[in-house]
A and B are shown apart, each in its own frame.
Chain A
Amino acid sequence: MSDPRVLDGNAVGGLLHDVFGAEVTAVPCTCGSCGARGEIARLVVYVDCPGVVVRCPACTQVLITIVRVHEHACVDLSGVGRLEL
Protein backbone atom coordinates (compact mmCIF):
# COMPACT_ATOMS: atom_id res chain seq x y z
CA MET A 1 0.00 0.00 0.00
CA SER A 2 2.58 2.56 -1.02
CA ASP A 3 0.01 4.85 -2.57
CA PRO A 4 1.13 8.25 -1.19
CA ARG A 5 -2.49 9.28 -0.64
CA VAL A 6 -2.86 6.49 1.87
CA LEU A 7 -2.35 7.48 5.46
CA ASP A 8 -3.13 5.64 8.68
CA GLY A 9 -5.44 6.08 11.63
CA ASN A 10 -3.11 8.53 13.36
CA ALA A 11 -4.12 11.07 10.72
CA VAL A 12 -7.75 11.11 11.87
CA GLY A 13 -7.09 11.00 15.61
CA GLY A 14 -8.36 14.54 16.07
CA LEU A 15 -11.47 14.01 14.00
CA LEU A 16 -12.27 10.76 15.80
CA HIS A 17 -11.69 12.48 19.13
CA ASP A 18 -14.43 14.91 18.16
CA VAL A 19 -16.73 12.04 17.16
CA PHE A 20 -16.16 9.78 20.17
CA GLY A 21 -15.20 12.37 22.76
CA ALA A 22 -12.02 10.46 23.60
CA GLU A 23 -8.63 9.53 22.25
CA VAL A 24 -9.18 6.37 20.20
CA THR A 25 -6.08 5.78 18.03
CA ALA A 26 -4.94 3.01 20.41
CA VAL A 27 -8.42 1.44 20.55
CA PRO A 28 -8.62 -2.02 18.93
CA CYS A 29 -11.04 -2.31 16.03
CA THR A 30 -12.24 -5.58 14.54
CA CYS A 31 -13.21 -5.71 10.86
CA GLY A 32 -16.82 -6.70 10.33
CA SER A 33 -15.90 -8.49 7.13
CA CYS A 34 -12.68 -10.49 7.68
CA GLY A 35 -12.35 -10.30 11.48
CA ALA A 36 -8.84 -8.75 11.45
CA ARG A 37 -8.19 -6.85 14.67
CA GLY A 38 -5.82 -3.94 15.22
CA GLU A 39 -5.53 -0.50 16.72
CA ILE A 40 -7.29 2.31 14.88
CA ALA A 41 -3.85 3.86 14.26
CA ARG A 42 -3.04 0.85 12.07
CA LEU A 43 -6.07 1.20 9.82
CA VAL A 44 -5.79 2.51 6.27
CA VAL A 45 -7.10 6.05 5.88
CA TYR A 46 -7.93 8.11 2.82
CA VAL A 47 -8.38 11.77 3.66
CA ASP A 48 -8.62 13.26 0.17
CA CYS A 49 -12.05 11.83 -0.59
CA PRO A 50 -15.20 13.80 -0.01
CA GLY A 51 -14.85 13.18 3.71
CA VAL A 52 -12.70 10.50 5.29
CA VAL A 53 -12.67 6.79 4.47
CA VAL A 54 -11.14 4.23 6.84
CA ARG A 55 -10.44 0.75 5.50
CA CYS A 56 -9.30 -2.59 6.91
CA PRO A 57 -5.57 -3.09 6.14
CA ALA A 58 -6.13 -6.82 5.70
CA CYS A 59 -9.15 -7.01 3.37
CA THR A 60 -9.79 -3.34 2.37
CA GLN A 61 -13.37 -3.43 3.69
CA VAL A 62 -14.67 0.08 4.36
CA LEU A 63 -14.92 0.30 8.15
CA ILE A 64 -15.71 3.93 8.84
CA THR A 65 -16.71 6.92 6.75
CA ILE A 66 -17.03 10.42 8.12
CA VAL A 67 -18.48 13.26 6.11
CA ARG A 68 -18.93 16.74 7.46
CA VAL A 69 -22.15 18.46 6.49
CA HIS A 70 -22.12 22.01 7.82
CA GLU A 71 -21.71 21.61 11.58
CA HIS A 72 -22.57 17.91 11.63
CA ALA A 73 -20.28 14.92 11.28
CA CYS A 74 -22.12 12.09 9.53
CA VAL A 75 -20.45 8.90 10.74
CA ASP A 76 -21.01 5.48 9.19
CA LEU A 77 -19.60 2.63 11.27
CA SER A 78 -21.44 -0.15 9.50
CA GLY A 79 -18.26 -1.94 8.38
CA VAL A 80 -16.94 -2.30 11.92
CA GLY A 81 -17.41 -5.59 13.73
CA ARG A 82 -16.34 -4.31 17.12
CA LEU A 83 -14.69 -1.26 18.69
CA GLU A 84 -13.14 -1.87 22.13
CA LEU A 85 -13.67 1.60 23.51
Chain B
Amino acid sequence: MKTLELDVDWDGHRAGQHLDVRLTAEDGYQAQRSYSIASAPGERPAITIERLDDGEVSPYLVDELREGDVFEVRGPIGGYFVWDGDEPEPVLLVAGGSGVVPLAAMARHWKRVGSSAPMRLLYSARSWDEVIYRDELEHLGIGVTYTLTREQPERWQGYARRIDDELLSEVAFPASEGPRVYVCGSTHFVDAAADGLVRLGYDPASIRTERFGATG
Protein backbone atom coordinates (compact mmCIF):
# COMPACT_ATOMS: atom_id res chain seq x y z
CA MET B 1 0.00 0.00 0.00
CA LYS B 2 1.42 3.34 -1.00
CA THR B 3 0.09 6.89 -1.24
CA LEU B 4 1.30 9.12 -4.08
CA GLU B 5 0.88 12.87 -4.09
CA LEU B 6 0.37 14.22 -7.61
CA ASP B 7 1.37 17.55 -9.04
CA VAL B 8 -1.36 18.22 -11.61
CA ASP B 9 -2.61 21.25 -13.44
CA TRP B 10 -6.30 21.31 -12.68
CA ASP B 11 -8.74 23.45 -10.68
CA GLY B 12 -9.13 21.26 -7.63
CA HIS B 13 -11.30 18.24 -6.94
CA ARG B 14 -14.38 17.29 -4.95
CA ALA B 15 -14.39 14.76 -2.12
CA GLY B 16 -15.26 11.34 -3.54
CA GLN B 17 -13.94 11.90 -7.06
CA HIS B 18 -11.45 9.64 -8.78
CA LEU B 19 -8.91 9.92 -11.57
CA ASP B 20 -7.62 7.65 -14.31
CA VAL B 21 -3.93 6.81 -14.57
CA ARG B 22 -2.70 5.76 -17.98
CA LEU B 23 0.71 4.22 -18.47
CA THR B 24 2.19 3.81 -21.94
CA ALA B 25 4.99 1.33 -22.58
CA GLU B 26 7.79 2.00 -25.07
CA ASP B 27 6.06 -0.21 -27.64
CA GLY B 28 2.87 1.86 -27.33
CA TYR B 29 0.94 -0.62 -25.18
CA GLN B 30 -1.33 1.24 -22.79
CA ALA B 31 -2.82 0.24 -19.46
CA GLN B 32 -5.32 2.39 -17.58
CA ARG B 33 -6.68 2.20 -14.03
CA SER B 34 -8.99 4.34 -11.93
CA TYR B 35 -7.94 5.50 -8.46
CA SER B 36 -10.00 7.38 -5.92
CA ILE B 37 -8.57 10.64 -4.70
CA ALA B 38 -7.69 10.27 -1.02
CA SER B 39 -6.97 13.88 -0.15
CA ALA B 40 -9.50 16.56 0.74
CA PRO B 41 -10.46 19.33 -1.68
CA GLY B 42 -7.90 22.10 -1.36
CA GLU B 43 -5.09 19.62 -0.90
CA ARG B 44 -2.93 18.16 -3.62
CA PRO B 45 -4.57 15.12 -5.19
CA ALA B 46 -3.25 11.97 -3.57
CA ILE B 47 -3.98 8.39 -4.55
CA THR B 48 -3.51 5.30 -2.41
CA ILE B 49 -2.49 2.22 -4.34
CA GLU B 50 -2.86 -1.36 -3.25
CA ARG B 51 -0.16 -3.48 -4.87
CA LEU B 52 -1.58 -6.52 -6.62
CA ASP B 53 1.16 -9.01 -7.48
CA ASP B 54 -0.27 -9.94 -10.86
CA GLY B 55 -1.33 -6.39 -11.72
CA GLU B 56 -0.09 -4.42 -14.71
CA VAL B 57 -0.16 -0.97 -13.17
CA SER B 58 -0.01 -1.18 -9.38
CA PRO B 59 3.42 -2.93 -9.13
CA TYR B 60 4.91 -0.17 -11.25
CA LEU B 61 3.28 2.63 -9.24
CA VAL B 62 4.22 1.07 -5.90
CA ASP B 63 7.70 -0.32 -6.63
CA GLU B 64 9.25 1.60 -9.48
CA LEU B 65 7.84 5.10 -9.57
CA ARG B 66 10.17 7.76 -8.19
CA GLU B 67 9.55 11.33 -7.10
CA GLY B 68 9.50 13.56 -10.16
CA ASP B 69 8.41 10.85 -12.60
CA VAL B 70 5.72 11.89 -15.07
CA PHE B 71 2.69 9.89 -16.19
CA GLU B 72 -0.67 10.59 -17.77
CA VAL B 73 -3.63 11.41 -15.50
CA ARG B 74 -7.23 12.14 -16.48
CA GLY B 75 -9.49 13.78 -13.95
CA PRO B 76 -10.94 14.71 -11.62
CA ILE B 77 -13.85 12.43 -12.52
CA GLY B 78 -17.29 12.08 -10.96
CA GLY B 79 -20.22 14.28 -10.03
CA TYR B 80 -22.41 11.70 -8.30
CA PHE B 81 -20.30 9.99 -5.66
CA VAL B 82 -19.28 13.31 -4.09
CA TRP B 83 -19.85 15.15 -0.82
CA ASP B 84 -19.24 18.89 -0.85
CA GLY B 85 -19.31 19.63 2.87
CA ASP B 86 -22.28 22.01 2.99
CA GLU B 87 -24.99 19.33 3.06
CA PRO B 88 -26.84 19.45 6.43
CA GLU B 89 -27.90 15.80 6.64
CA PRO B 90 -26.04 13.22 8.75
CA VAL B 91 -23.53 11.31 6.65
CA LEU B 92 -22.96 7.58 6.83
CA LEU B 93 -19.83 6.28 5.11
CA VAL B 94 -19.60 2.53 4.55
CA ALA B 95 -16.25 1.19 3.38
CA GLY B 96 -15.22 -2.25 2.24
CA GLY B 97 -11.43 -2.65 2.15
CA SER B 98 -9.73 -0.11 -0.09
CA GLY B 99 -13.16 1.40 -0.73
CA VAL B 100 -12.30 3.58 2.25
CA VAL B 101 -10.14 5.84 0.06
CA PRO B 102 -12.80 8.21 -1.36
CA LEU B 103 -14.63 8.12 1.98
CA ALA B 104 -11.44 9.20 3.76
CA ALA B 105 -11.40 12.21 1.43
CA MET B 106 -14.93 13.04 2.60
CA ALA B 107 -13.94 12.61 6.27
CA ARG B 108 -10.89 14.82 5.79
CA HIS B 109 -13.06 17.40 4.06
CA TRP B 110 -15.57 17.22 6.94
CA LYS B 111 -12.76 18.16 9.32
CA ARG B 112 -11.34 20.91 7.09
CA VAL B 113 -14.65 22.70 6.59
CA GLY B 114 -15.77 22.18 10.18
CA SER B 115 -19.03 20.59 9.06
CA SER B 116 -21.72 20.39 11.71
CA ALA B 117 -23.35 17.38 10.02
CA PRO B 118 -22.79 14.23 12.09
CA MET B 119 -20.56 11.80 10.20
CA ARG B 120 -20.02 8.11 10.87
CA LEU B 121 -17.74 5.63 9.13
CA LEU B 122 -18.38 1.91 9.14
CA TYR B 123 -15.23 0.26 7.86
CA SER B 124 -15.07 -3.43 7.02
CA ALA B 125 -11.55 -4.84 6.58
CA ARG B 126 -10.15 -8.34 6.64
CA SER B 127 -7.72 -7.61 9.47
CA TRP B 128 -6.42 -4.74 11.61
CA ASP B 129 -3.24 -4.67 9.54
CA GLU B 130 -5.29 -3.98 6.41
CA VAL B 131 -7.03 -0.93 7.87
CA ILE B 132 -5.74 2.05 5.89
CA TYR B 133 -5.29 5.52 7.48
CA ARG B 134 -6.28 4.12 10.87
CA ASP B 135 -4.35 6.60 13.05
CA GLU B 136 -5.75 9.53 11.12
CA LEU B 137 -9.30 8.21 11.07
CA GLU B 138 -9.26 7.92 14.85
CA HIS B 139 -8.41 11.59 15.24
CA LEU B 140 -10.70 13.27 12.74
CA GLY B 141 -13.59 13.50 15.15
CA ILE B 142 -16.04 11.41 13.19
CA GLY B 143 -17.49 8.22 14.62
CA VAL B 144 -15.55 5.21 13.36
CA THR B 145 -16.69 1.61 13.72
CA TYR B 146 -14.60 -1.26 12.43
CA THR B 147 -15.55 -4.79 11.59
CA LEU B 148 -12.67 -7.19 11.01
CA THR B 149 -13.95 -10.08 8.98
CA ARG B 150 -11.05 -12.53 8.80
CA GLU B 151 -8.61 -11.97 11.63
CA GLN B 152 -8.86 -9.94 14.82
CA PRO B 153 -6.20 -8.73 17.26
CA GLU B 154 -6.17 -10.33 20.70
CA ARG B 155 -8.86 -8.99 23.00
CA TRP B 156 -10.63 -7.33 20.03
CA GLN B 157 -13.88 -5.85 21.30
CA GLY B 158 -15.28 -4.73 17.97
CA TYR B 159 -17.30 -6.45 15.30
CA ALA B 160 -15.76 -9.52 13.68
CA ARG B 161 -18.12 -10.43 10.88
CA ARG B 162 -19.31 -9.33 7.48
CA ILE B 163 -21.83 -6.56 7.39
CA ASP B 164 -25.35 -7.76 8.09
CA ASP B 165 -28.66 -6.10 8.93
CA GLU B 166 -28.13 -6.29 12.70
CA LEU B 167 -24.70 -4.69 12.47
CA LEU B 168 -26.01 -1.98 10.18
CA SER B 169 -28.92 -1.24 12.50
CA GLU B 170 -26.51 -0.79 15.42
CA VAL B 171 -24.13 1.51 13.57
CA ALA B 172 -26.21 3.46 11.07
CA PHE B 173 -28.20 6.59 11.82
CA PRO B 174 -31.93 5.88 12.09
CA ALA B 175 -33.55 6.20 8.67
CA SER B 176 -35.88 8.83 10.16
CA GLU B 177 -32.93 11.27 10.39
CA GLY B 178 -32.68 11.27 6.60
CA PRO B 179 -28.96 10.52 6.32
CA ARG B 180 -26.94 10.63 3.15
CA VAL B 181 -25.03 7.43 2.53
CA TYR B 182 -21.88 6.68 0.59
CA VAL B 183 -20.91 3.04 0.11
CA CYS B 184 -17.69 2.03 -1.61
CA GLY B 185 -16.07 -1.37 -2.01
CA SER B 186 -16.28 -4.49 -4.09
CA THR B 187 -19.49 -5.15 -5.99
CA HIS B 188 -20.51 -7.85 -3.52
CA PHE B 189 -19.85 -5.59 -0.52
CA VAL B 190 -21.68 -2.63 -1.99
CA ASP B 191 -24.74 -4.70 -2.85
CA ALA B 192 -24.84 -6.25 0.64
CA ALA B 193 -24.54 -2.90 2.40
CA ALA B 194 -26.98 -1.02 0.18
CA ASP B 195 -29.59 -3.80 0.27
CA GLY B 196 -29.30 -3.97 4.06
CA LEU B 197 -29.78 -0.24 4.46
CA VAL B 198 -32.86 -0.32 2.25
CA ARG B 199 -34.26 -3.06 4.49
CA LEU B 200 -33.68 -0.71 7.44
CA GLY B 201 -35.91 1.84 5.76
CA TYR B 202 -33.32 3.95 3.97
CA ASP B 203 -34.50 5.68 0.82
CA PRO B 204 -32.59 4.04 -2.08
CA ALA B 205 -32.12 7.50 -3.62
CA SER B 206 -30.15 8.58 -0.53
CA ILE B 207 -27.60 5.78 -0.97
CA ARG B 208 -24.76 6.60 -3.33
CA THR B 209 -22.58 3.69 -4.31
CA GLU B 210 -19.29 3.12 -6.06
CA ARG B 211 -18.08 -0.34 -7.00
CA PHE B 212 -14.41 -1.23 -7.23
CA GLY B 213 -12.94 -3.81 -9.54
CA ALA B 214 -9.68 -5.49 -8.54
CA THR B 215 -7.72 -5.07 -11.73
CA GLY B 216 -4.32 -4.13 -10.29
Contacts and interface: CB of A to CB of B under 8 A. Distances in A.
Interface in B64-82: 74-75, 77-81
B210 A23 contact: no
Contact of A6 (B18, B187, B192): B187
Nearest to A13: B77
A42 to B, nearest CB: 8
A41 B208 contact: yes
A48 B185 CA distance: 18
B78 A1 contact: no
B187 A26 contact: no
B187 A1 contact: yes
B191 A25 contact: no
Given A2-B187, A4-B186, A6-B187, A11 B80 contact: no
A19 interface: no
Contacts of A13: 18, 77-78
A12 to B, nearest CB: 9
A11 B191 contact: no
Interface in A25-68: 25-26, 39-42, 47
B211 interface: yes
A82 interface: no
A3 B191 CA distance: 10
Interface string B201-216: 0000000111111100
B34 interface: yes
Contacts of B191: 1-2
Q: Which of A2, A9, A40 has the most CB of B within 10 A?
A: A2
A40 B34 CA distance: 17
A4 B187 contact: yes
A5 interface: yes
B20 interface: yes
A40 B80 contact: yes
A7 interface: yes
Interface in B26-83: 34, 74-75, 77-81
Contacts of B139: none
A57 to B, nearest CB: 11
Contact of A10 (B18, B75, B214): B18
B213 A41 contact: no
A25 B79 contact: yes
Given A1-B191, A25-B80, A10 B74 contact: no
B187 A10 contact: no
Interface in B59-113: 74-75, 77-81
B188 interface: yes
Lowest 8 A-B CB distances belong to which pairs? A41-B80, A26-B79, A13-B77, A26-B80, A14-B20, A25-B80, A23-B79, A2-B188
